[in-house]
Each structure stands twice: as C-alpha cells, then as structure tokens.
Amino acid sequence: MLTVDNLNQYYGGSYILRNLAFEAPAGKVTALLGRNGVGKTTLLKCLMGLVPAATGGIAFEGHDLTRAAPHERVRAGIGYVPQGREIFPRLTVSENLEMGLATRPRGAELPPRIFEMFPVLKQMLRRRGGDLSGGQQQQLAIGRALAIGPRLLILDEPTEGIQPSIIKDIERAIRALAESGEMAILLVEQYYDFARSLADHYLVMERGEIVMRGLGSDMDKDGVRETLSV
Ligand SMILES: Nc1ncnc2c1ncn2[C@@H]1O[C@H](COP(=O)(O)OP(=O)(O)O)[C@@H](O)[C@H]1O
Ligand SMILES: [Mg+2]
C-alpha cells in the first residue's frame, strides 16, 4: 500500500501540487484522472524521487520514502512506466528489459509473465527498442517495470498515442496484474473509458488538487467523464 500525506510541490514560484493525500492499496487499481497540465506527471515524479517533495510524506508498505533516492524506491518495489515510455532506443528489447533487473539480486531472471502478457517482446528480443512501434515500446516500458518485481506499479498515460488493439492488450495486462493481488497499481489516464474499465478507485485532479474521489463503479454516476472534457 502506498500512502501519500499532504504532499506539496512547487516549480519556481508556481504551486503545482496542493495538499495531496490518498492511498493506493494492494490488489487494486487506483486511477488518477485530470486534464493536461494539472500536475499528474509531477506527482508521479515526486513519488519516484525524481522531483523532491517540498512538504508532506510518501510511504510505501510502512516505510517512509519521502527523502529516498529514485533507485531506493525502485529497490523498495516501485515500478514506474513514465509518460512517453522513455525506453532506450539504441539498446535491444532484451537489454531494455534487463535494465529492470539492475536492482535485483545477481542472477535474477526476467519474470516469465512479461512474455505471457506481451508475446511480441519475446519475438523481438534482439531488435532495437527504437525500431519498435509506439505500442510495442509501451509494452516494453511496462515489461521493464515488471522486471523489478514491483509491489507498486505506476503508469503515466499508458494509452497515449497507442493504437486500439494494443490498448486492449495493455488493459488485459493491467487487469491481470491487479487480480494477481501482488501489487498496487496507480494508473494516470486521460482516456476515460480505459480508466473506467480498470479503476477500483478513482481520483480527479484539477490545478494540483484532488477535487473528486470515489469508487471506480461510480465514475459514470459521479460525472468523472465531464471533468476531462474541455
Ligand atoms: N520542469 C518543469 N518546470 C516548470 N514547470 C513545469 C515543469 N514540468 C511541468 N511544469 C508545469 O507544471 C504543471 C503540471 O505539469 P504536469 O505535472 O506535467 O501535468 P500533467 O501530467 O497533469 O499534464 C504544468 O503547468 C506544467 O507546465
Ligand atoms: Mg503528464
């Protein structure tokens, strides 16, 4: 379980994250929705230690990670799939996946479920990451995050710029990971139907604040879709 407590963050003089407080429980998908520029990616960067939190707390499985370095958070079991994927284009698929093993004990192997979920990665192990389609790169980025054996998986807009057939594969994979009960999933999305189909709980952000929250099954009734339209 991830616990975020009164988190605040600023870029220069702008107040970007305002008193954020929420939890992401194990075995559940917590979907965070919000339009462009509301601070979703900044929040995830704070969770990963890529941007320091100004005030507030971040704890995972009872350990305070507020001041921990990014690699310590990965070692604590947090897998991160950044917006725009950020795979290594000149490294092979295999090498990209092995990057995810860097924090594991020597001799650790790639979890077989990466290839069960995304068989295309197995076929393309020797191809360069940069030669894959956008959707394949997204699968690779998820595979790399799974290679660390995460107990919290954080995904930043995994459907952005991806063709519908691969979106379905990614949806199935996220559902299976949640149902395994082995990890908490924090899913940032702007694609309402995707988030709605996966969310156990939802959060809506506007201008750095969480302005709505509830059960995934109440998203339609609560009017969450309308918060995303311009
Ligand atoms: N490195 C940065 N320096 C200054 N401002 C930034 C930086 N990154 C993002 N911002 C600003 O912070 C706000 C939140 O951005 P971001 O977290 O990327 O939002 P989202 O992911 O919800 O689209 C935006 O106003 C954006 O322009
Ligand atoms: Mg973003």
SS3 (DSSP) at 163 = coil
Which of 1-5, 12-16, 77-81, 87-91 shows the lowest per-residue confidence on average (mean pLDDT)? 12-16
Structure tokens at 177: 């990971």
- The answer to whether the CB of 170 falls within 8 A of the CB of 138 is yes
pLDDT category at 26 given cuts 50, 70, 90 is very high
Written as six digits, the tokens of 227 are 């918060």
Residues near ion ligand 2 (CB < 5 Å) are 40-41, 83
Q: How far is the CA of 81 from the centre of ligand 1 (A)?
A: 17
pLDDT at residue number 108: 86
Give residue 145's Cα distance to chain centre: 9
Residue owning the nearest CA to atom 7 of ligand 1: 11
Does 38 sit in the ligand 1 pocket, CB within 6 Å? yes
Confidence at residue 107, expressed as pLDDT on a 0 to 100 scale: 83
Q: Which helix (H) or strand (E) holds 205?
A: strand 201-206
The label of the residue with tokens 């339209």 reads 229
Reply yes or no on whether the pLDDT at 167 is more than 90: yes
What is the domain-level CATH number for residue 139? 3.40.50.300
> For ligand 1, is residue 86 a contact (CB within 6 Å)?
no
For 192, residues 6+ apart whose C-beta sits below 8 A from its C-beta are 33, 219, 224, 225, 228
Judge whether 9 and 53 are in contact, CB under 8 Å: yes
Which atom of ligand 1 lies closest to the CA of 44? 17
Minimum-distance ligand 1 atom for the alpha carbon of 35: 22
Residue type, 114: I
Residue 36 β-bridge partners: none
Closest to 81 measured CA to CA, from 159, 192, 166: 159
Query: Over the stretch 106-135, which tens digit does the pLDDT of each residue have?
Result: 888 899 999 999 999 999 999 999 999 999
Q: Dmax over Cα atoms in the chain, in whole Å?
A: 50
Distance 118 CA to ligand 2 centre (A): 24
Within 10 angstroms of residue 185's Cβ, the number of other Cβ atoms is 25
Q: Give how many domains the chain has, as a whole number.
A: 1
More confident residue, 89 or 13: 89
- Expressed in angstroms and rounded, the spacing between residue 23 Cα and the centre of ligand 2 is 20
CA gap 73, 69 in Å, rounded? 7
What's the pTM?
A: 0.96
Q: Quick one: which ligand is closest to 36's CA?
A: 1
Q: Which domain holds residue 174?
A: 2-228
Pseudo-torsion of CA 36, 39, 45, 50, nearest 10°?
110
